[in-house]
Amino acid sequence: MRTQVAIIGAGPAGLLLGALLHRAGIAAVIVEQRSADYVLGRIRAGVLEQTTVDLLEQAGVGERVHAEGLRHDGTELAFGGGLHRIDFQALTGRHVMVYGQTEVTRDLMAARAQAGLPTWYEAEHVAIADYDGAHPLVSFTKDGVRHEIECDFIAGCDGFHGVCRASLPAGAITTYEKVYPFGWLGVLADVPPATEELVYANHPRGFALCSQRSRTRSRYYVQCASDDNAARWSDDAFWDELRRRLPDAVAERVVTGPSLEKSIAPLRSFVAEPMRFGRLFLAGDAAHIVPPTGAKGLNLAASDVGYLAQAMREHYGERSDAGIQAYSQRCLARIWKAERFSWWFTSLMHRFPDTGEFGARIQRAELDYLVGSTAASTALAENYVGLPLA
């Protein structure tokens, strides 16, 4: 097989890149190790920056986001028993959309199938080669048959555990990592959300988050030990712990119900540099991970492929490699801003083993400063809603 861009991974990064390239008339093949149902079955976050919504529109899948997504002009910080609203719209003129990553993936998959674009699911033993030469190769086995794709470029959108970054020689890449000493126990339930907007809670018992997928489906999280086990938590135990960590005004409005999904997510900050190796580009979780506190994971994956699609349009459309040359630096500038914000917000809202009484008072002082200062809450708002793609 021959194509222009071979994309490894059919997560949001790979699928969005495929859609943007299709719109630009650039041929691409996606190779995914799992089945489409498996990819769709993964429960992930769901807060979209305006920049991500713009890219989904560019890719031709903006319709359902606008029809079913929930526009949020702000968020609530809960601490000291009270609620404090951060008004994104007033402070930045921008807002976010609450729309599940699963739905983004579903829309992109449906559009790709409808356009009849080549996607190989359940591809085994995926391997890449010659990405530092003129004709990179992707090979894989499907139903016992070995296939080879010759291409101009490889897009490694294969996530943190993917083959692309793992295929790089040790010295070619530098990684930066921070693992947090706690996890997030998350519950998805078909109950109406307790609040209009998201609530991020700093509490002596640990962090809690009230989020949502729709007016009838909610997503809640509580900070837990990183070695905890979701099976140890009954639904009742989860709801009780959640309510303990919320101000009374919110706790009394939490509607409980059976969990559809209950799991623990580890918290980690990770960046791999650079993100281009000859004709191989890394994008999304293949190159970086953020703790979910800042809701940046999906948005960073989208901006990476936004830059990559732009570079590919310039290469094929204008015979210019300026975008290709600048890809890694452009992505990393945006990634480190999001990494800093996500680390800062995580540090502010969680209780660490060594936080102690002094640390708790410092967190409180910073929260009081944050909600009392237009400059400080504007900085939070600006980072949360995200910046336009530079």
Contact positions toward ligand APR, by CB under 6 A?
Answer: 8-14, 31-34, 39, 44-45, 101, 123, 126, 157-159, 161-163, 284-285, 297-298, 301
Residue closer to ligand PHB by CB (options 45, 201) is 45
By the rule CB under 6 A, 199 interacts with ligand PHB: no
By the rule CB under 6 A, 12 interacts with ligand PHB: no
Task: Give the whole-angstrom CA distance, residue 127 versus residue 118.
Answer: 18
By the rule CB under 6 A, 381 interacts with ligand PHB: no
Using CB atoms within 10 Å of the CB of residue 277, give its burial: 0 to 12 exposed, 13 to 18 middle, 19+ buried.
buried
| Torsion, CA 10, CA 13, CA 18, CA 22, rounded to 10 | 150
**Which amino acid is located at 230 in the chain?**
A
186 and 312 Cβ atoms separated by less than 8 Å = no
Judged by CB under 6 A, which of 6, 10, 45, 104 binds ligand PHB? 45
23 and 89 Cβ atoms separated by less than 8 Å = no
Residue closer to ligand PHB by CB (options 152, 285) is 285
Query: Among the candidate windows 89-97, 292-300, 315-323, 364-372, which touches ligand PHB by CB under 6 A?
Result: 292-300
* Closest alpha carbon to 163 in 280, 71, 320: 280
- Phi/psi region, residue 159 (left: phi>0; alpha: psi -120 to 50; beta: rest), is left
Residue closer to ligand APR by CB (options 14, 193) is 14
* Closest alpha carbon to 56 in 101, 127, 104: 104
Q: Which does 340 bind (CB under 5 to 8 A by kind): ligand APR, ligand PHB, none?
A: none
Contacts of 358 (CB under 8 A, 6+ apart): none
**Tally of CB atoms within 10 A around 88:** 23
Q: Which does 211 bind (CB under 5 to 8 A by kind): ligand APR, ligand PHB, none?
A: ligand PHB
Judged by CB under 6 A, which of 92, 119, 211, 310 binds ligand PHB? 211
Residue 140 C-beta: closest distance to ligand APR, Å: 7
Write out the catalytic residue numbers: 72, 200, 292, 296, 384
Backbone angles phi, psi at 273, to 5 degrees: -130, 145
Q: Which does 293 bind (CB under 5 to 8 A by kind): ligand PHB, ligand APR, none?
A: ligand PHB
Residue closer to ligand APR by CB (options 39, 254) is 39
Residue 352 C-beta: closest distance to ligand PHB, Å: 18
Buried b (16+ CB within 10 A) or exposed e, 69-84: bbebbbbbbbbeeebb
By the rule CB under 6 A, 94 interacts with ligand PHB: no
SS3 78: strand
By the rule CB under 6 A, 292 interacts with ligand PHB: yes
By the rule CB under 6 A, 295 interacts with ligand PHB: yes
Residue 370 C-beta: closest distance to ligand PHB, Å: 16
By the rule CB under 6 A, 47 interacts with ligand PHB: yes
Helix axes 12-23, 50-58, angle to 10 degrees: 50
Residue 227 C-beta: closest distance to ligand PHB, Å: 21
Residue 1 C-beta: closest distance to ligand PHB, Å: 37
Contact positions vs ligand PHB (CB under 6 A): 45-47, 198, 211, 219, 292-293, 295
